[in-house]
């Protein structure tokens, strides 16, 4: 931690370790993106990818890179960042590392919306995305209202979310049994979370949403840090507790629902990215920038792994993040036990 002072009396605190971590993660995410663009049925060396992205490639490569693969990678980066930011906010608000949107049933709610569109209306991709967005938003605000009792308390939010998640899982199971096998297969791929066939149509709304919400979240980052010390301390320090929580929850729900409607409920990014970022920066608080870069890097790397290991578009990215996330949790368990913390 270092303080920068100007002559005019302005000062800025700079956490050097955190800044380095953000820079490294950002580079990692971009490097993984370049690799991912070069991967597929037609392989392109990384140097050519970079040259094409800068506008100096040959026309054939330009078509493949800019029109086919770049939007997909951008969706991956944006979805990863949005999920991680939503997860970081939820975890900070519920003061619980397990309080991520996966556990709270937002993913299940969005899935229910998407399944209704797929199974009952055989909807197009756009309709499915709209259904998922609506499902996620309704579930998110339902959880908030049900958990409201003279304010929202962290544990109650998590527990209400777990109950909601179970109900939504049952609804999804019912819809799956009602579907014919073609719809069911389509629904399963969607439920795993996949970047297959995503393009500029998904990039634009996500980009706009992130451009609006990230500044909002950043202005509330300081009150959020205070909130982690407990409601009483925070309000004594002048934080408007309920308003902060409401604004941030709305932002988190919007981000998660939008990301889910773009790529499906990709598991565990929201749970693991903020935790990993926190361990790397070793600083308390939600670590917003580091979490977002970590989420983007994780998602794109996972997609690259799934493409390299199993061939193009055989295995949705959500499956890879699910397995990696589970293994990460186990490792966390073993290491925490060795350190004697649990």
* Residue 252: closest CA among 284, 298, 220: 220
Is 155 an interacting residue with respect to other proteins (CB under 8 A)? yes
Return the residue of 14, 20, 23, 166 that touches other proteins, per CB under 8 A: 166
* Residue 264: closest CA among 288, 311, 299: 299
Q: How many residues bind other proteins (CB under 8 A)?
A: 52
Which residue has 């049952």 as its token pair? 170
Burial of 180 (0-12, 13-18, 19+ CB in 10 A): exposed
Helix (H, G, I), strand (E, B) or coil at 39: coil
Return the residue of 25, 75, 93, 158 that touches other proteins, per CB under 8 A: 158
| Shortest Cβ 342–other proteins spacing (Å) | 6
Is 197 an interacting residue with respect to other proteins (CB under 8 A)? no
* Residue 296: closest CA among 271, 318, 272, 269: 269
Give yes or no for a contact between 102 and 270, defined as CB atoms under 8 angstroms apart: yes
Question: Pattern 82-121, binding to other proteins, x per CB under 8 A?
Answer: --------------x-x-----------------------
Is 188 an interacting residue with respect to other proteins (CB under 8 A)? yes
Whole-number Å distance between alpha carbons of 245 and 239: 10
Return the residue of 200, 240, 333, 335 that touches other proteins, per CB under 8 A: 333
| Shortest Cβ 183–other proteins spacing (Å) | 11
C-alpha torsion 83→89→93→99, nearest 10: 20
* Choice between 170 and 236, CB closer to other proteins: 170
Whole-number Å distance between alpha carbons of 203 and 213: 15
Return the residue of 119, 128, 129, 192 that touches other proteins, per CB under 8 A: 192
Instruction: Give the binding range for other proteins (CB under 8 A) out of 2-10, 155-163, 220-228, 254-262.
Output: 155-163
DSSP 199: -
* Choice between 262 and 320, CB closer to other proteins: 320
Helix (H, G, I), strand (E, B) or coil at 55: coil
Is 146 an interacting residue with respect to other proteins (CB under 8 A)? yes
| Shortest Cβ 106–other proteins spacing (Å) | 15
| Shortest Cβ 180–other proteins spacing (Å) | 10
Instruction: Pick out residues in 19-78 that bind other proteins (CB under 8 A).
Output: none
Return the residue of 17, 243, 282, 314 that touches other proteins, per CB under 8 A: 314
Give the ranges where the chain is alpha helix by DSSP (H).
16-38, 46-53, 59-62, 70-94, 101-104, 106-115, 121, 125-147, 154-178, 181-192, 200-219, 221-227, 231-236, 241-263, 269-281, 288-310, 317-338
Whole-number Å distance between alpha carbons of 148 and 71: 40
Is 184 an interacting residue with respect to other proteins (CB under 8 A)? yes
Is 337 an interacting residue with respect to other proteins (CB under 8 A)? yes
Return the residue of 45, 163, 215, 311 that touches other proteins, per CB under 8 A: 163
Question: Pattern 261-290, binding to other proteins, x per CB under 8 A?
Answer: ------xx----------------------
Give yes or no for a contact between 84 and 156, defined as CB atoms under 8 angstroms apart: no
Binding site for other proteins (CB under 8 A): 96, 98, 146-147, 149, 153, 155-156, 158-160, 162-164, 166-167, 169-171, 173-174, 176-177, 181, 184-185, 188-189, 191-192, 267-268, 314-316, 318-327, 329-330, 332-334, 337, 342
């Amino acid at each position: 931690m270092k303080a920068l002072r100007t002559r005019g009396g302005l000062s800025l605190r700079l956490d050097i370790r955190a800044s380095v971590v953000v820079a490294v993660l950002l580079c990692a995410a971009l490097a993984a993106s370049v690799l991912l663009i070069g991967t597929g049925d037609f392989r392109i060396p990384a140097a050519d990818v970079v040259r094409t992205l800068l506008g100096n490639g040959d026309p054939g490569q330009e078509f493949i890179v800019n029109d086919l693969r770049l939007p997909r990678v951008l969706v991956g980066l944006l979805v990863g960042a949005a999920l991680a930011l939503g997860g970081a906010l939820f975890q900070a608000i519920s003061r619980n590392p397990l309080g991520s949107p996966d556990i709270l049933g937002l993913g299940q709610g969005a899935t229910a919306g998407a399944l209704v569109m797929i199974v009952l209306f055989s909807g197009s991709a756009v309709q499915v995305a709209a259904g998922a967005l609506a499902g996620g938003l309704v579930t998110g605000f339902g959880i908030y209202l049900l958990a409201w009792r003279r304010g929202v308390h962290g544990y109650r939010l998590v527990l209400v979310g777990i109950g909601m998640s179970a109900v939504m899982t049952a609804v999804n199971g019912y819809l799956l049994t009602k579907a014919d096998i073609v719809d069911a297969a389509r629904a399963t791929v969607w439920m795993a979370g996949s970047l297959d066939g995503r393009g500029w149509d998904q990039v634009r709304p996500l980009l706009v949403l992130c451009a609006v919400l990230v500044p909002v979240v950043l202005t509330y980052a300081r009150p959020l840090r205070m909130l982690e010390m407990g409601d009483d301390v925070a309000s004594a320090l002048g934080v408007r507790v309920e308003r902060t929580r409401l604004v941030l929850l709305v932002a988190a729900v919007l981000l998660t629902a939008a990301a889910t409607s773009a790529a499906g409920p990709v598991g565990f990014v929201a749970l693991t990215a903020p935790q990993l970022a926190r361990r790397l920066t070793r600083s308390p608080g939600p670590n917003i920038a580091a979490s977002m870069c970590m989420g983007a890097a994780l998602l794109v790397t996972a997609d690259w792994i799934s493409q390299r290991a199993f061939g193009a578009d055989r295995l949705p990215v959500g499956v890879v993040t699910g397995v990696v996330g589970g293994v990460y949790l186990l490792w966390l368990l073993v290491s925490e036990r060795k350190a004697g913390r649990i």
